[in-house]
Amino acid sequence: MEPRLRHYISVRLMLSIMASGILAGGAVILAGTLLIEDIVDDATSIAFREIENRLSIMEAILSRIERDASEAGFKALAMLEAQYPSIEEAMAAGMDTLKNDAERLGVDEVYFISNDGIIAATSFEPDVGFNLFSLGTNFVGRLTQLIGSGRFENLRISISTRTSHANSYQFHGPDGADFIIEVSTRLDRAIARTFPGYELHSLLKLLFNTGYEGNDYIVKATDVLWGLNPPYRSFISEQPIDPELQIMIRDASLSDGLWTEPDGKNTIIVRQLKIKNEELGIADQGLFVVFSVRTSLSRDFIISSVALSGFLILTSIVLSFFLTRKSFDKRVTSRLETLETAMSKVAAGDEETSLDDGMTDEIASIGRSAENMVAQIRERNTELLASHAANHALIHELDHRVHNNLQFAMSLASMQSRTTESTATKDALERMRSRLTMMSMVQDHAIKKSDFPDIDMTRIFYDICAEISGYHGYSTAGIKRWIEVEDLFLDTETAIAIGLVAAEIIDNAYRHAFKTSKTGTLSIRSEKTDDSLAFTFDDDGEGVIDKVSVGLELALALSDQLGGSLTWQSGEGHRVLLTIPLA
């Protein structure tokens, strides 16, 4: 009983503690994760409202800068129109002269564009011969309408496709002329005019705090971009942006102004910026703000929570397991083992062994009841020895009392078996009840035939097999039993000892030999000679017989008490041979 019971208790205890720990830890992690996600969502909403306010400020600043830059540009265009009535005169003046003109007029570059969109004369050498009509249909349409119109147009702040510098552009089509004049002003120069002491980078970092590199943020602006078509460029670095971000903006549907893409620890959000003042020129799209949302907070919390919870759960499992196991061993397991060992000694004839461990629970009650039974048996035996004349009547009376006490002990074992939740404990109590049943069975046969006290072993073996098979339930229905023990009658003491041995061997076969098989044959045969009596127990089961159980230790002790031997043979099945001498 000890190995199976302890193993059962250890495994079930470990699983129950582990399951409770995992459930508790999982609940804490889930609740914390939901809370962190709510905090991130709330912080993101608050940060967006703040950034929207900053965008409004940026719109106002850009509008002011664009107005000032366009006024200066329009003045420069008017002066250039008066100085160069034809595009040929501008081409004849040369690049160096146009550079001096741009510096004198307070702009950065000057362009003279023919009616087919080609830059024919300019102060910016890389753009000589560049076709402006390649920049897009809408742009071409607005430029062609300027030719000969006498009107001025302003292109909103954009970034040069050649230099990646942010510029303000103004255009003018002289009245009746077949060319267009363009001037551009670096945004840094325009900002310095409108907001002395600032330049583009410092102004954007001030507005969006983009220069902040710390990690204690939830949402922050990381860049301001421009571009009507790829490649998009950064206002802050004045360089083309990362290729992956290029793809994000190109593939994203920005109709709702928002698009997200996870990049590991953060989520990148691109929001399109549209300046609401529509009086400033022909380009009202192409501005984007890039945000970074720190979405790794939930993941970091989960990782740290799992690590901490795992350590605490493991620690609690180890501590709880050993503490609970020690307590259960002391209160239940060890006491059942002690009681079983004591009953085996009593059954072997040891008169010094006590079955009462001094406790007040059901296990102790079973021990006291069994001890009272043994005490009554011993008292009756003493009285019977004192009077040979009353021996027969007293034996009969004793048999009745023993039978009643055995029934009482079996009832207590059954009651305890029904109330316990442990399968192993219930199994131990049921085996103890089975042994008491076998003893009661022999006593019952003796009472029924008081004039012939010897016990019919054929009937005993049938009853033992039926009792054990019934205990193991329907799983034994396919196991056939052959009992060839005929005309064999033994005295009560010998019959009890042989019956206990047989019960242990038969129970062991049902538990182990037929554990994996629902069919088979169990046979019991007896052979009597002049000086010995042999019982052979055969089975054709496939399982491995447990030869180290307490029950088989009891069988070996009883065979020694009978002066006989108990041997094992294993082949295709199992054979147990009990041999005892005849007195």
- Which neighbouring-strand residues pair with 225? 234, 288
Q: How confident is the model at residue 34 (pLDDT cuts 50, 70, 90)?
A: confident
- Which neighbouring-strand residues pair with 166? 159
Name the one residue in this structure whose structure tokens are 């595009």: 87
User: Is there a contact between 90 and 98 (Cβ–Cβ < 8 Å)?
Assistant: yes
Between 95 and 583, whose confidence is greater?
95
User: Which of 131-140, 312-321, 432-441 reaches the highest mean pLDDT?
Assistant: 131-140
Q: How confident is the model at residue 119 (pLDDT cuts 50, 70, 90)?
A: very high
Q: How confident is the model at residue 284 (pLDDT cuts 50, 70, 90)?
A: very low
3-state helix, strand, coil in the chain (%, to 5): 55, 20, 25
What is the pLDDT of the chain when averaged over all its residues?
77
In whole angstroms, give the CA distance from residue 343 to residue 24: 45
In whole angstroms, give the CA distance from residue 311 to residue 193: 63
How confident is the model at residue 214, as a pLDDT?
57
Percentage above 70 pLDDT, the chain: 73
How confident is the model at residue 518, as a pLDDT?
77
Q: How confident is the model at residue 58 (pLDDT cuts 50, 70, 90)?
A: confident
Q: How confident is the model at residue 99 (pLDDT cuts 50, 70, 90)?
A: very high
Q: How confident is the model at residue 445 (pLDDT cuts 50, 70, 90)?
A: low
Neighbours of 513 (CB within 10 A): 23
Give me the mean pLDDT over the 443-456 stretch.
Answer: 66
Collect all residues with Cβ–Cβ distance below 8 Å to 341 and sequence separation of at least 6.
550
Provide the 8-state DSSP code for 514. Answer: T
Give me the mean pLDDT over the 71-96 stretch.
Answer: 94
Give me the mean pLDDT over the 93-115 stretch.
Answer: 94
Name the one residue in this structure whose structure tokens are 């199992």: 574
Give me the mean pLDDT over the 544-559 stretch.
Answer: 78
Token code pair at residue 262: 């996870």
Helix (H, G, I), strand (E, B) or coil at 109: strand
Using the predicted structure, report yes or no on whether residue 94 has a pLDDT greater than 60: yes
Please provide the size of the chain in residues. Answer: 583
Using the predicted structure, report yes or no on whether residue 50 has a pLDDT greater than 60: yes
How confident is the model at residue 298, as a pLDDT?
64
Using the predicted structure, report yes or no on whether residue 91 has a pLDDT greater than 90: yes
Give me the mean pLDDT over the 450-454 stretch.
Answer: 61
Helix 334-347 to helix 550-561 angle (10° resolution) is: 20
Q: How confident is the model at residue 418 (pLDDT cuts 50, 70, 90)?
A: low
Collect all residues with Cβ–Cβ distance below 8 Å to 459 and sequence separation of at least 6.
445
For the ranges 239-248, 317-326, 533-542, 554-563, the lowest mean pLDDT is seen at 317-326
Using the predicted structure, report yes or no on whether residue 389 has a pLDDT greater than 60: no
Between 370 and 143, whose confidence is greater?
143
φ, ψ dihedrals at 567, nearest 5° = -125, 160
Between 216 and 337, whose confidence is greater?
337
Collect all residues with Cβ–Cβ distance below 8 Å to 51 and sequence separation of at least 6.
208, 219, 221, 289, 291
Task: Tell whether the torsion through CA atoms of 293, 220, 234 and 272 is positive or negative.
Answer: positive
Distances 189 to 65, 193, 206, 235, 405 between C-alpha atoms, Å: 10, 6, 18, 14, 113
Token code pair at residue 346: 């009593």
pTM tops 0.75: no
Provide the 8-state DSSP code for 543. Answer: S
Which of 491, 389, 479 is CA-nearest to residue 449? 491
Give me the mean pLDDT over the 3-12 stretch.
Answer: 65
How confident is the model at residue 452, as a pLDDT?
55
Distances 574 to 340, 523, 540 between C-alpha atoms, Å: 26, 11, 6
Which of 501, 511, 512 is CA-nearest to residue 534? 501
Between 458 and 281, whose confidence is greater?
458
The 3-class SS string of 121-156 reads EECCHHHCCCEHHHHCHHHHHHHHHHCCCCCEEEEE
Neighbours of 498 (CB within 10 A): 26
How confident is the model at residue 325, as a pLDDT?
66
> Please, is 154 exposed, middle or buried when counting C-beta atoms within 10 Å of its C-beta (0-12, 13-18, 19+)?
buried
Q: What is the pLDDT of residues 182-205, one digit of tens each?
A: 999 988 888 888 888 777 777 777
Bond before 231 cis per omega within 30 degrees:
yes
In whole angstroms, give the CA distance from residue 301 to residue 307: 10
Using the predicted structure, report yes or no on whether residue 580 has a pLDDT greater than 70: yes
> Please, is 253 exposed, middle or buried when counting C-beta atoms within 10 Å of its C-beta (0-12, 13-18, 19+)?
exposed
Q: What is the pLDDT of residues 332-361, one digit of tens each?
A: 777 777 777 777 777 777 777 777 777 777
In whole angstroms, give the CA distance from residue 191 to residue 235: 13
Distances 45 to 221, 256, 293, 409 between C-alpha atoms, Å: 14, 16, 11, 75
Percentage above 90 pLDDT, the chain: 18
Which of 269, 373, 240 is CA-nearest to residue 45? 269
Using the predicted structure, report yes or no on whether residue 283 has a pLDDT greater than 50: no
How confident is the model at residue 388, as a pLDDT?
46
How confident is the model at residue 405, as a pLDDT?
58
CA 457 and chain centroid, separation: 61
Q: What is the pLDDT of residues 475-515, one digit of tens each?
A: 777 888 899 987 888 888 888 888 888 888 888 888 888 87
Give me the mean pLDDT over the 232-255 stretch.
Answer: 71
User: β-pairing, 287-293 with 219-226?
Assistant: antiparallel
How confident is the model at residue 264, as a pLDDT?
62
Between 430 and 73, whose confidence is greater?
73
In whole angstroms, give the CA distance from residue 336 to residue 417: 13
User: Is there a contact between 154 and 277 (Cβ–Cβ < 8 Å)?
Assistant: no
How confident is the model at residue 116, as a pLDDT?
92
Region at 136 (left for phi over 0; alpha for psi -120 to 50; beta for the rest): left
